[in-house]
Structure 1
Amino acid sequence: MSGLYSTLNVAIRGMNSQQTAIDVTSHNIANANTDGYSRQRALMETTRPSTTSTGQLGTGVQVSSISRIRDTYLDYQVRTENGTMGLYQGREKFLTEVQSIFNEVSETGVSSMLSEVFKSWSSLSTSPESSNTRTVVAQKSKALTDQLNSTYNQLSKLKVNCQDVIQKDVVDINGMLDQINDLNQQVIGVKVGGNEPNDLMDKRDLLVDQLSSKFGITIDKKTLAGEDLKATDNVGGADPTKDLYLVKSNPNDAVSRFSYVSTIVPKIVPPATVASQKPGEAGSYDVTYYKNGDTSTDANKVTMTMDLTPEQYDSLDQGRVILADKKGYAIDKNGIRLAGNDSNKNPIPLTDISGSAIATGTSYELFEPKTGELNGYQSVQTDIDTYISDLNNMAKAIAYSVNAVHSGESDADKDTRKFFVNSTDGKEEEITAGNIAVNGDILNNVMLINAGKGSTPEAYDGSRALAISKLKDVKLNIQGIGTKTTRADLLKVNTFSNDTTLGVMMVNSTSDGMTISGDFTDIINRIADKTQYAQKTVTNNTTLLAGLEESRTSISGVSLDEEMANLIQFQHAYAANAKIISTVDELLDLIVNGLKK
């Protein structure tokens, strides 16, 4: 009797185990199209045998665990390539827009307009007495300045758009980190109960995959399947010897988050109505950031006053992401909260960026990863600033050289009839691509254009107009122009002397200079090179990631054919165990009821 009951128990265990395997297979089939799902397997093992006079006798089977099939090395490779892909996708997106802004494939591009301007001056030299040729010079020049203004403004708007994307990324990243932290704690709780939290770990891994496209991450596996998640390659002011923990198994609140810097405004000190310095210059700034990047309410707004050098201003302006504690308050490299109140509502002393204690500054830590979308958006802002600066330098070179020949003066202060001015105050100082304009007096009266040798516009020999047209071939020291460079500074390098052939003062070439059109072509070529490199890298990484994902899917993905084959196998095993139970039932009936006969 004990033998039959033992056989009955073996069959029951077998049925239960096969039922569990069928449940797992059913779960796999149901999640065949679920993102991030890893196929699961019921791992079976023999139960403890019983000892008989003839030796050990098996007692059946049991499911030891339900585990997911996952290759952690492939996960690491995918996440590394996700970071590279995110970096160059971000760069490609905005660099392609930069190319569209310059619009050099059309007749309305800056290159074409530059050529038209110099041609109009050449035409004026042959008909200096004609108001029509003078009008063409004025209008062609105005079209050029309008295009430079438009290009400058569009680049500036594109930079703002890029910063908006960074802000949205900061919100998304903080949200993902909070979700990963919650899942981490749930995983640990399930493991403490002795079970396998497969589905929870799949959700966590999917979020980590998505996060890896934002910036580089490192994962430390902990006991009970908990994970510590760190940011890698954090440069900027952060101490490279210290780990930047974003998720921790224990304690789970000693972690960093990110906040977004919305504005960097020169500080106005009463009774002044304007700041003493312009954006980008060394000085004191009011820096406003939103905790955790959430700009939906002013309750998240925090304003810090800090002293910045030009380099620090550019770094903060282009980076925009600062380290914060879990509540979103800015922290220094030691994790100490800044620019607000601590948990005891006590004001925190302010320090400058170097850490020295002063009354009007705040220490902060920029987050500047070396990979991922954030790096792509941060680095492309540097590119945009460079292109804007290059355009500004070119605008200065155009204005300074044309104005000098037009007036015969190397000193802008002595020039009473400038051809190009800045639209803000009608002067030559602080000309940029964004404000360069043709002198309004000349637009209203084209006969004020100086075309001949004489000092008055009425000199109709055309020599001065011809000299200006020849500026297209003059190599100017454009690469040496900066924000403070004046006309006199440029002409010290290029020199300004009398052209004996034309009889007017002329700007001379410098051996290491560039023509205006050559300088602009160089800008366009650099944009094209960077854009093409980003596009090629995205294409290559798409192929590489596809291969890695295919490898990972072959291991972790659900194959419906395989699952159906397994289902049939488990079905037959279940039926066979049921048959054993039926057979034992018949034997028991024979033994019990057969004795009556």
Structure 2
Amino acid sequence: MSGLFSTMNVAVRGMTAQQMAIDVTSHNIANANTDGYSRQRTLMETTTPFGMPSMNNAVGPGQLGTGVQVSSITRIRDTYLDYQVRAENGTMGLYQGREKFLTEVQSIFNEVSETGVSNMLSEVFKSWSALSTSPESSNTRTVVAQKSKALTDQLNSTYNQLSKLKINCQDVIQKDVTDINGMLDQINDLNQQVISVKVGGNEPNDLMDKRDLLVDQLSSKFGITIDKKALAGEDLKATDNVGGADPTKDLYFVKSDPTKDVSRFSYVSTIVPSKGSIQKPGETGSYDVTYYKNGDTSTDANKVTMTMQLSDMEYTSLDQGRVLWADKEGYAIDASSNRINGIDSNSKAIPQSGTKTNTDATWGNIKRFEPKTGEINGYQSVQTDIDTYINDLNNMAKAIAYSVNAVHSGNQADTAGELKFFVNSTTAGKEEEITAGNIAVNGEIIKDVMLIKVGKGDTPLPTDGSRALAISKLRDVKLNIQSIGAKTTRAMLLSGDTFSQDTTLGVKMVNATSDGMTIIGDFTNITNRLADKTQYAKNTVINNTKLLAGLEESRTSISGVSLDEEMANLVQIQHAYAANAKIISTVDELLDLIVNGLKK
């Protein structure tokens, strides 16, 4: 029934609701600059009115309201915009990672300076041309030796810097693995807290904001898929994975049910030939693969070693990928969450987990994490590029050594006892194992430049410059460089009529192939391809930056805090609060009139 006390209760409810609205507005204003914060709104609803149908309820003029109550405090969030931002975060992470390292590769090649490889190649051929005009001069011979040494030193330096850059890239992957596992643990903890608060009947808005912020950060590392569950819980897994049979259908990183298995990542630190194996790194054979649980390399207690057979392609894939699926404790697993057999740092076999069984370490069993997007993919794919550039440099170094050595010695194949101009600087190095990292000018020639063969004869003096001229002409000779591989020999490159007697010069000369490239042209092709890839990565980053900025602006317009709007809301709430207070004051006066007026 209605009355003054009922009216006072309505006003009290109104003040209480408006007070809560003031608290929410104050919270919004306080977090106006907080990353990941979503503005909150107080949703109000009328309380149950008087005059609800019942046996004792007399017919009256209508239901009489009893005031207002806060039904919930909700955050304003657009899940579709979240999805778009996270998808673009993956693309941005991919190309930012690629741009970072490809730009460094460009700086290593250093082609804009006078010490670039292509400029030094030109200088070497010019020095041979100059030597052909003054074949008996020790000065011109010294110039040839020194220019050639400068070239090989630059190739050695480029090779070593690229190799170090690849190691740096792998170090970044290791750090990413550690960071990702840490974020997944935080997301999992927040997920359980969100569910607990929901069970209690409250809205965990701030907890969900923190979870969403971490998910946003995680989405830049690799593509993610989120399955919404009851009580605002979330199950999180990778969008895709190309490392072997796809395990992403059943392997989750975060589960709403805390009793379910979740996955993490581990980092492969080394891949070395097993003891007693005779293959070189990268060749087919048995390897000891060492990984660190959860990517934590701070202690050897996390180190586990598996022994497995790898082909050359499998070795390359694992070397460039480096990330393994693991269980929550960090042990490598297969698609069924079975642990892979291995030996820990104490030379003990890894333990089994629950009802799961351990499986053998084979290429088919281990699950590599090779996503199609995100930073991880960027760093993995750029290693492929670096390996390609190293291989291209190796092929070019072989082409230089084989062609010059062939003309210098007059032999189509590597012949015992011949005086090679370019050699493999490693101990007992073979010519067919020459790379950009070990190519060098023969030490005997550096000591005595008069050993350089310049003319038709084998004796240093007197002589003509025909052989030196033939070597200088190699600048314009097209060689089948693209067909060179790790096992290619000089005889294989210069097979058939590719190497024959030149009737004009009177010495054996390398002949051009119809589908080949010049040595300088080959290097120019390498740098052009690098420039194209780098520019594409830069352009994609620029475009995605603009796209992400637009998406973030749209998301902020919905979820962000507008101080002007909040101040306007505060004024409105303040007036409502004051009006409710005035009602209480009015009721107080009326009650005073009734109570005290009856005494008169």
Q: TM class by shorter-chain length?
A: over 0.9
Q: For 1:513 and 1:429, how far apart are their aligned partners in 2?
A: 20
Q: For 1:502 and 1:573, how far apart are their aligned partners in 2?
A: 104
1:488-567 correspondence runs (5 A):
488-492=491-495, 495-567=498-570
Q: For 1:116 and 1:191, how far apart are their aligned partners in 2?
A: 74
1:48 Cα deviation after fit: 1.1
Q: 2:423·2:431 contact (CA, 8 Å) conserved in 1?
A: yes
Which residue among 259, 268, 278 is the counterpart of 2:280?
278
1:272-421 correspondence runs (5 A):
275-338=277-340, 339=342, 340-343=350-353, 348-354=358-364, 363-414=365-416, 416-421=418-423
1:253 Cα deviation after fit: 4.2
- TM-score using structure 2 length: 0.96
Q: Which amino acid aligns with 2:441?
A: V
Q: For 1:120 and 1:378, how far apart are their aligned partners in 2?
A: 42
User: Do the aligned partners of residues 471 and 415 (structure 1) sit closer, same or farther apart at CA in structure 2, a change above 3 Å counting?
Assistant: farther
Q: 1:494·1:509 contact (CA, 8 Å) conserved in 2?
A: no
1:575 equivalenced with 2:585 (yes/no): no
Q: Deviations over 1:162-194 (max 9, x none)?
A: 000000000000000000000000000000000
1:61 equivalenced with 2:64 (yes/no): no
User: Do the aligned partners of residues 181 and 347 (structure 1) sit closer, same or farther apart at CA in structure 2, a change above 3 Å counting?
Assistant: closer
1:155 equivalenced with 2:155 (yes/no): no
Q: For 2:585 and 2:216, how far apart are their aligned partners in 1?
A: 50
Q: For 1:151 and 1:375, how far apart are their aligned partners in 2?
A: 25
Find the counterpart in structure 2 of residue 586 from structure 1: 589
1:441 Cα deviation after fit: 0.3
1:238 Cα deviation after fit: 2.9
1:349 Cα deviation after fit: 4.8
Find the counterpart in structure 1 of residue 54 from structure 2: none
Q: For 1:292 and 1:535, how far apart are their aligned partners in 2?
A: 32
Q: For 1:477 and 1:494, how far apart are their aligned partners in 2?
A: 13
Question: How many residues are matched?
Answer: 584
Q: 1:8·1:581 contact (CA, 8 Å) conserved in 2?
A: yes
User: Do the aligned partners of residues 348 and 240 (structure 1) sit closer, same or farther apart at CA in structure 2, a change above 3 Å counting?
Assistant: closer
Q: Which runs of 5+ in 2 are unaligned?
A: 52-58, 343-349
Q: For 1:345 and 1:452, how far apart are their aligned partners in 2?
A: 78
Q: 1:237·1:333 contact (CA, 8 Å) conserved in 2?
A: no
1:335 Cα deviation after fit: 1.2
Q: For 1:596 and 1:2, how far apart are their aligned partners in 2?
A: 24
Q: Which amino acid aligns with 1:5?
A: F
1:477 Cα deviation after fit: 0.5
Q: Which amino acid aligns with 2:227?
A: D
Q: Deviations over 1:272-311 (max 9, x none)?
A: xxx4010100000011000000000000000011100011
Q: 2:310·2:363 contact (CA, 8 Å) conserved in 1?
A: yes
Q: For 1:127 and 1:387, how far apart are their aligned partners in 2?
A: 37
Q: For 2:335 and 2:21, how far apart are their aligned partners in 1?
A: 51
Which residue among 130, 136, 150 is the counterpart of 1:129?
136
SS of equivalent residue, structure 1 residue 57:
coil
SS of equivalent residue, structure 1 residue 228:
strand
Q: Which amino acid aligns with 1:352?
A: T
SS of equivalent residue, structure 1 residue 59:
coil
Find the counterpart in structure 1 of residue 195 from structure 2: 188
1:268 Cα deviation after fit: 1.6
1:414 Cα deviation after fit: 3.9
Find the counterpart in structure 1 of residue 18 from structure 2: 18
Q: 2:339·2:359 contact (CA, 8 Å) conserved in 1?
A: no
Q: 2:237·2:248 contact (CA, 8 Å) conserved in 1?
A: no
Task: Give the alignment's Cα RMSD to 1 decimal.
Answer: 1.4
Q: 1:262·1:289 contact (CA, 8 Å) conserved in 2?
A: yes
Q: 1:88·1:535 contact (CA, 8 Å) conserved in 2?
A: yes
User: Do the aligned partners of residues 346 and 257 (structure 1) sit closer, same or farther apart at CA in structure 2, a change above 3 Å counting?
Assistant: closer
User: Do the aligned partners of residues 426 and 343 (structure 1) sit closer, same or farther apart at CA in structure 2, a change above 3 Å counting?
Assistant: closer
Q: For 2:413 and 2:549, how far apart are their aligned partners in 1?
A: 62
Q: For 2:358 and 2:570, how far apart are their aligned partners in 1?
A: 64
Q: For 2:269 and 2:157, how far apart are their aligned partners in 1?
A: 24
Q: Which amino acid aligns with 1:517?
A: I
Q: Which amino acid aligns with 1:457?
A: P
Q: Which runs of 5+ in 1 are unaligned?
A: 270-274, 355-362
Q: Which amino acid aligns with 1:496?
A: F
1:416 Cα deviation after fit: 1.3
Q: Deviations over 1:406-463 (max 9, x none)?
A: 0000110245100000110354230000000000000000000000011333352000
Q: Which amino acid aligns with 1:309?
A: S
Q: For 1:493 and 1:26, how far apart are their aligned partners in 2?
A: 86
The runs of 4+ residues in structure 1 deviating greater than 6 Å are 344-347
Identity %: 82
- TM-score using structure 1 length: 0.96
1:347 Cα deviation after fit: 9.0
Find the counterpart in structure 2 of residue 27 from structure 1: 27
Q: For 1:180 and 1:459, how far apart are their aligned partners in 2?
A: 81
Find the counterpart in structure 1 of residue 347 from structure 2: none
SS of equivalent residue, structure 1 residue 229:
strand
SS of equivalent residue, structure 2 residue 241:
coil
Find the counterpart in structure 2 of residue 198 from structure 1: 205
1:93 Cα deviation after fit: 0.2
User: Do the aligned partners of residues 415 and 399 (structure 1) sit closer, same or farther apart at CA in structure 2, a change above 3 Å counting?
Assistant: farther
